[in-house]
Structure 1
Amino acid sequence: MGVLNRLLLMVYSLLFLMLSAMGVGLFVSAEWGQQGLLAGWLDRIYRDTGVRWFVLAVSIMVLVYSLRMLRLSLENKKEEPGVDRLTEIGHIRISLKTLESLTVKRARGIKGIRTITARVRQDSDHTSVGVGLKLVVDGDTPIQTLSEELQQSIKTHLEEIAGVDVSQISVYIADTVQSDRSPIRVE
């Protein structure tokens, strides 16, 4: 929502908050028999008990709605994080979740990786992304070779498929799991 719309919504909410508070105050004032500046006019409106209860009900509904609208106007809504690209034809936004899915899909194709979780974050300058990987690998593939191959493969994949710049890929090896194959005995 634009800044102008939020400002208008806030002014509207404050206005109706004051009007509904005045309605509730006038009802209480009329109920206690106090005479105010508009006593004659209000006397005609509040003479009928049904009208008084109706005015109270409407005032309470407007009060509740106004408080809700005021809260909504003051909330800072955040967009879902993503990477923006402007093309000749229009605007493209790729969510970070999509980039994480692409990363995991690419990593599963590399031999030696058992499980992987990926986390993609925008860099502070919003021109590139950083990728964090947490892996469980088999114990058979050299970890250094596996990590470098994974980093290069993911960097190339994200830059080609999504068109985003990858500034950093951090790899955390959480555990190793030995292969399920049993040793072959030759006698």
Structure 2
Amino acid sequence: MVKVADKLLLFLYSIIIGCLSVFLLIVGFGGISIGLMNDLIGDLYRLDSLQITTAVLGFVLFVLSLRFFIVSLQRGSASAPSIDQRTDFGDIRISLETIENLALKAASRQRGVKDLRARIRATDAGLDIVIRAVVDGESSIPVLTEEIQKAVKEHIEDIAGIPVTHVSVYVANIIQTGTFKSRVE
């Protein structure tokens, strides 16, 4: 929620600063006559409502600047996404990249698999894993995908101790084997 509020504030701040910079560019290049500038400044000091509006705008810009300055100095907590577990001895954090590598390792052990990619999504119930595979076409695809699902689920649950709720295997393509017959004429 804080990030959304900061993004909205940054958007408003950018709009205001953009308008001010356009105004300063116009003034700097003589786009506003001296008489008009004198009238503008005179109205600023004569009309209380314009003075209050200018003071409020200045205060808001100062507060926004201060907020963005503080945010820029804070250490970012944008660490890699991970799965957090609490044990009797302390906390354990396992990155999703580690889980992805475990899934790829388990799937690559299956015969007939040529190229793999994995995508991991952590839910409250456990892990949802999607494996994208390129196979050789020599093995039965239903049998191979079932073996991949079983191997990935067991490997991750054994090694990481995290329940796997769902393993989907998407066979993206079949690789042609390199058995070409030579033709002699």
The TM-score, its normalising length taken from structure 1, stands at 0.57
How many angstroms does 1:80 deviate by?
A: 2.7
- How many angstroms apart in 2 are the aligned matches of 1:156 and 1:63? 54
Identity of aligned residues (%): 34
How many angstroms does 1:69 deviate by?
A: 2.5
1:112 maps to 112
Instruction: Map 1:23-172; keep pairs closer than 5 Å.
Output: 66=66, 68-72=68-72, 77-123=77-123, 125=124, 127-172=125-170
- Change over 3 Å in CA distance of 1:150–1:183 after alignment to 2: farther
The aligned length equals 122
Q: Which amino acid aligns with 1:157?
A: H
- How many angstroms apart in 2 are the aligned matches of 1:166 and 1:183? 45
Counterpart contact for 1:140–1:178, Cα < 8 Å: no
- How many angstroms apart in 2 are the aligned matches of 1:99 and 1:170? 15
- Change over 3 Å in CA distance of 1:71–1:88 after alignment to 2: closer
- How many angstroms apart in 2 are the aligned matches of 1:166 and 1:67? 42
CA offsets per residue over residues 54-96 of structure 1, 9 Å max, x none? xxxxxxxx9998353244489x955432111111111001010
Unaligned runs of 5+ in 2: 3-61
1:175 maps to 173
Aligned-residue CA RMSD (Å): 3.2
2:58 maps to none
**Secondary structure at the residue paired with 1:94?**
strand
- How many angstroms apart in 1 are the aligned matches of 2:179 and 2:162? 40
How many angstroms does 1:106 deviate by?
A: 1.4
Unaligned runs of 5+ in 1: 4-61
**Secondary structure at the residue paired with 2:92?**
strand
- How many angstroms apart in 1 are the aligned matches of 2:146 and 2:175? 19
How many angstroms does 1:183 deviate by?
A: 6.2
**Secondary structure at the residue paired with 1:117?**
strand
**Secondary structure at the residue paired with 2:138?**
coil
Instruction: Map 1:11-30; keep pairs closer than 5 Å.
Output: none
How many angstroms does 1:172 deviate by?
A: 0.7
- How many angstroms apart in 2 are the aligned matches of 1:171 and 1:183? 33
- How many angstroms apart in 1 are the aligned matches of 2:127 and 2:67? 40
How many angstroms does 1:130 deviate by?
A: 0.5
Q: Which amino acid aligns with 2:179?
A: R
CA offsets per residue over residues 127-177 of structure 1, 9 Å max, x none? 411000111000111100000000000000000000000000111111001
The TM-score, its normalising length taken from structure 2, stands at 0.57
